[in-house]
Amino acid sequence: MPELHAASNFSLEEGTWQYDTRLESESARLHLEGTTEDIDIGYPVTAFRFEFMHPENAAVLPRLMDRNGEQLPGVEARGQAEASPRAIELGESELLLSEDSLDMGGELVFSGRRPEINLSLQGDRLDLASLQAFLPPARAEAPESSEWPEAPLPLGFLRGYQGRLDLNLQRLETSWQPLENLGLSAGLADNRLQFEELSAEVLGGRFSATGSLLADSTGNYGVDLDGNLAEASAGSLSSPLFGSTPLEGRLDLPFSLSTDGESITRMLRNLEGSVDLSGRLQFPAGDQEAGMPTGVGETTPDTLFALLDYPAEAAGNLQIESGRLTSQDLKLSGARRQLVFRGMLADLPRRQIRTTAELFEENQDTPQAIMDIVGPLGDPAFRWQRFGRSLSQSIPQNAQASEQTGWPATQ
């Protein structure tokens, strides 16, 4: 342990203890100042103010957490609290994690069957990576063949505590996407975390859901979520599947999802549910001179979506089984043409896509063009099976020039 310096002043007046204590070790500091009453009746109550500072370069917390040599984000906490044999009540206080400031309040109750933690947090910004740095390290490494974490989820607290959490953040930074105007209200009892409210702005739309997270006695976790992603950006949703696309517009996606597992990988493999998709799409205006077909084979997503006439309506039902997102009726319908996607839009555990896009002319039952889309999510290969001769005579006017889109050849 590093060297510890302590200084305290105590005084007793009419049964009330007054104290002022300072602890310093390296560059970390703790300051406590307050009073303790009613010691004589066996129910002491302590009211105090606290200030804790642990800079990023300090080694006290890593040593206490048995993580010698690691560097944790800087953390500061200050505020007031009251402690009794029943509970510790946290008044108006502030937590500074790295450069993110949070206002907090709550209580820790000892008198129940399980310790009860009730916590309220609000702030402008929080980087999730800074918070995760203080969680227990993973007990297992992900296999080299998997990009998803195999380590058990650090959610053991669900089995040992009860309470509730109310969280409001203007921005939560994550490794995936930032979440804006995040709101979370959840209660924990009997190993189940019940999400009364879960909402955020993400992917250009508004996410809202209710559900639960249940921890069983074997280390497994079950998740159920029902909700909606409203007015989401069509480009933001299509890019993780097809790569960069020129699509614009808004989509609504009401969903019902469930899964279970001890890790992210296992939960993705066990993911089940359904998504109903609807919305309206636009294609940005480009070169008004349509390029003629130049070759069958590899092409780009621009080629596919430029064949449709816009504005177009999007509608379809997506099914999820064992982490695979499939559809047989996902349709993008313009005034004269319709694109129908059939097959596996996303194999989430393996990060793959294998689907077919068929282009139909108005009042036609046979597709005039068929494209295979196969490969890794976000970067698949687009390859024509067939491109009808009749279709090549009426390439839509919103298409890009041939050197930009690579039109397929007629047959």
pLDDT tens figures, 312-369: 999 999 999 999 999 999 999 998 999 999 999 999 999 999 999 999 988 888 888 8
CA distance 371 to 360: 12
Token pair, residue 391, equals: 């279709």
Cβ neighbours of residue 189 closer than 8 Å, sequence gap 6 or more: 162
Among 1-10, 23-32, 300-309, name the most confident range. 23-32
Upstream peptide bond of 396 is cis (omega within 30 degrees of 0): no
**What pLDDT, on a 0 to 100 scale, did the predictor assign at position 63?**
86
Q: How large is the average pLDDT for residues 135-158?
A: 67
Three-class SS of residue 240?
helix
pTM of the model: 0.82
Whether the per-residue pLDDT at 38 is higher than 80: the answer is no
In the chain, domain spans: 285-405
Q: How large is the average pLDDT for residues 260-273?
A: 95
**What pLDDT, on a 0 to 100 scale, did the predictor assign at position 279?**
97
Say if residues 314 and 290 touch (Cβ distance below 8 Å).
no
Q: Which residue in the block uniquely carries the two structure tokens 């104290």? A: 19
Residue 353's DSSP bridge partners are: 375
Say if residues 102 and 79 touch (Cβ distance below 8 Å).
no
- The total of other beta-carbon atoms located within 10 Å of residue 289's CB is 11
- 201-214 pLDDT, tens digit per residue, is 999 999 999 999 99
CA distance 143 to 148: 9
- 149-177 pLDDT, tens digit per residue, is 788 888 888 999 999 999 999 999 998 88
**What pLDDT, on a 0 to 100 scale, did the predictor assign at position 308?**
84
Token pair, residue 245, equals: 């696309």
According to DSSP, residue 161 is labeled -
Q: Which pairs from 230-233 meet CB under 8 Å and 24+ separation?
A: 230/205, 230/206, 231/204, 231/205, 231/206, 232/202, 232/203, 232/204, 232/205, 233/203, 233/204, 233/205
Q: Which of 67, 92, 65 is nearest to 78 (CA)?
A: 92
23-32, 162-171, 279-288, range with the lowest pLDDT: 279-288
Q: How large is the average pLDDT for residues 15-31?
A: 91
**What pLDDT, on a 0 to 100 scale, did the predictor assign at position 202?**
95
Whether the per-residue pLDDT at 124 is higher than 90: the answer is yes
